Amino acid sequence: MSKIARQQSTHLPPDTRRTNFNEVVCGYTETEALTESGRCLQCKDPLCTSGCPVRINIKGFINFVSKKDYKGAYKTITEANLFPSICGRVCPQDRQCEAACILGKKHEPVSIGLLERFVGDMAQQNGWQETRPIVPINRTAAIIGSGPAGLACAYDLAKAGVSVVVFEALHLPGGVLTYGIPEFRLPKERVFKEIENLTRLGVTIETNRVIGRIHTIEDLMGRLSFDVVFIGTGAGYPKNLGIKGDALNGVMSANEFLTRVNLMRGFDFPRYGTPVGMGKNVAVIGCGNTAIDSARTALRLGPENVYIVYRRTLEESPARKEEIRHAIEEGVQFICLTESKEIISDNEGWAKGMNCVQKDETGSSEFLLNVDTVIYALGTMANPIIARTTPELTIDKAGYIETNKENMITSIQGVFAGGDITRSGGAFTTVIHAMSTGRRAAKGMLEYLEAVIAANGRPPKFRG
């Protein structure tokens, strides 16, 4: 058993980081990465890989790191995952690969995420890319949405020789990686460099293309002659509480808030033209990743107090544990076991307070929280645009697209779906989970192309 302690990465001190958007976790130095890789037991039957939704050969890549063969490590990771810099930073490793690490039973698990990030960043610094001979197979795929699900699907299809076009509604690709997760946790430069590897493989990404508005799925498979389609549109539709005061000025959804700050670079206003409109006392309602990101982002915009108001206990929060710790260190105040009942208005239609009820085993108490900004981070919903323009698509009551589990096929021949627009993630919707569904769909799409084309010459025209 390893006697070496788990290597901790340097972090920016809380007082410094709450004043800027610089990355909080600095990542391993080479010495730290080598020491950490030396902790891996190189188990005969490793369990860590089964904890990774895309099944990275973790033992294999860590072995390469320990021998300083970083390129070998990169090649091993990218067999399964083109985004090591991203996943190393945002995966909830404590619930996935690291939770399965055998060393973790008696000691601390190997820091798989930080090692993966080290390799991904090293590849970016050295301009390594995923290169492999690609044999075109004269087939075309349209991917709707450039989040992790769509991009992972595009990667596997491109490797198999399919010509892939990704249609993205926003002006930049990446989905939540770009518009949702803040710069201090996931620098956008890292995201775009990893996406560049995909375009180098020949994948075309067309931004500012809202499918459902400019083309329907029927157009894609008919007039535009795509053989297969993947829907990876995420679940970015905001949810509110439906309480009195929801529509007041100063009340907004986390999606709107984070998009303003991340995508429109509102944190750099007035250099960039998008103001964010932050008050002095901010309440974020909810306690998942989105809520923690919203609270920490709000804190960096200079209010006096930022609260997280959560109806459960902190232990029950689905957010990454590390982010909760960071939020506490930075000064976010948690008010748990508390429900928001009403947002109170001033005379001019702006929020000026929130009535709350706190409940514990001894009973319940009401109080007024003095806040002028309220951010809803209550989870999201499926955007209805694709389903509305494609009535043949079977959706569930809440608007999520129904697929089978094995290959993510929808009710329409040749149309597949994955990521947050399906319910595939269950209670935990994560980047790597979305990627694993994108990969499963790509496998299904390739099988479909092979089978249908073998029988018909070309896939049939659109048929629901």
Among 112, 181, 191, 287, binds ligand SF4 (CB under 6 A): 112
**Among ligand SF4, ligand FAD, none, what binds residue 340 when CB lies within 5 to 8 Å by partner kind?**
none
Nearest residue (CB) to ligand FAD, 356 versus 432: 432
Pick from 417, 445, 402: nearest CA to 234: 417
Q: How many whole angstroms separate alpha carbon 10 and alpha carbon 43?
A: 28
Beta-carbon contacts of residue 45 (< 8 Å; ≥ 6 apart): none
Pick from 134, 112, 371, 235: nearest CA to 104: 112
Nearest residue (CB) to ligand SF4, 112 versus 261: 112
**Any contact of residue 233 with ligand FAD (CB under 6 A)?**
yes
**Any contact of residue 236 with ligand FAD (CB under 6 A)?**
yes
Strand residue runs (E) in 36-85: none
Pick from 398, 392, 409: nearest CA to 449: 409
CA-to-CA separations, 256 to 173, 210, 315, in angstroms, rounded: 17, 18, 27
Q: Which residues within the stretch 427-446 sit at the binding site for ligand SF4 (CB under 6 A)?
A: 432
Min separation Cβ 87 and ligand SF4, Å:
4
Nearest residue (CB) to ligand SF4, 86 versus 291: 86
Among 9, 37, 66, 96, binds ligand SF4 (CB under 6 A): 96
Quote the Cα angle for 463-435-51, to 5°. Answer: 130
**Among ligand SF4, ligand FAD, none, what binds residue 170 when CB lies within 5 to 8 Å by partner kind?**
ligand FAD
Residues 393-422 vs ligand FAD: string with x where CB under 6 A?
Answer: --------------------------xxx-
Beta strands at 363-369 and 351-360: parallel, antiparallel or unpaired:
antiparallel
**Any contact of residue 145 with ligand FAD (CB under 6 A)?**
yes
**41 exposed, middle or buried (CB, 10 Å; 0-12, 13-18, 19+)?**
middle
Nearest residue (CB) to ligand SF4, 54 versus 166: 54
**Any contact of residue 289 with ligand SF4 (CB under 6 A)?**
no
Nearest residue (CB) to ligand FAD, 298 versus 356: 298
DSSP 72-118: HHHHHHHTT-S-HHHHHHHS-GGGTHHHH-GGGGTSPPP-HHHHHHH
Q: Which residues within the stretch 324-383 sit at the binding site for ligand FAD (CB under 6 A)?
A: 383
Among 74, 155, 167, 307, binds ligand FAD (CB under 6 A): 167
Min separation Cβ 144 and ligand FAD, Å:
5
Among 97, 374, 431, 442, binds ligand FAD (CB under 6 A): 431
**3-state SS of the chain: helix, strand, coil percent to 5?**
40, 15, 45
Q: In what order do the strands lie in the sheet with 363-369?
A: 338-345, 351-360, 363-369
Nearest residue (CB) to ligand FAD, 345 versus 407: 407
Q: In what order do the strands lie in the sheet with 305-309?
A: 251-253, 373-376, 281-285, 305-309, 333-335
Handedness of CA 154, 156, 159, 161 (dihedral sign): negative
Among 97, 299, 301, 327, binds ligand SF4 (CB under 6 A): 97
Backbone region of residue 161 per phi and psi (left: phi > 0; alpha: psi in -120 to 50; beta: other values) = left
**Among ligand SF4, ligand FAD, none, what binds residue 419 when CB lies within 5 to 8 Å by partner kind?**
ligand FAD
Select from 25-33, 52-60, 173-181, 410-418 the region that touches ligand SF4 (CB under 6 A). Answer: 52-60
Q: Which amino acid is at 153?
A: C
Among 65, 73, 87, 203, binds ligand SF4 (CB under 6 A): 87
Quote the Cα angle for 308-325-306, to 5°. Answer: 25
**Among ligand FAD, ligand SF4, none, what binds residue 52 when CB lies within 5 to 8 Å by partner kind?**
ligand SF4
Residues 254-293 vs ligand FAD: string with x where CB under 6 A?
Answer: ----x------------------------------xx--x
Among 88, 109, 113, 234, binds ligand FAD (CB under 6 A): 234
**298 exposed, middle or buried (CB, 10 Å; 0-12, 13-18, 19+)?**
buried
Q: Which residues within the stretch 227-286 sit at the binding site for ligand SF4 (CB under 6 A)?
A: none
Q: Which residues bind ligand FAD (CB under 6 A)?
A: 90-92, 144-150, 167-170, 175-176, 180-181, 209-212, 232-234, 236, 258, 289-290, 293, 320, 383, 385-386, 419-421, 429-432, 434
Q: Which residues bind ligand SF4 (CB under 6 A)?
A: 52, 54, 56, 58, 81, 87-88, 91, 93, 96-97, 112-113, 116, 432
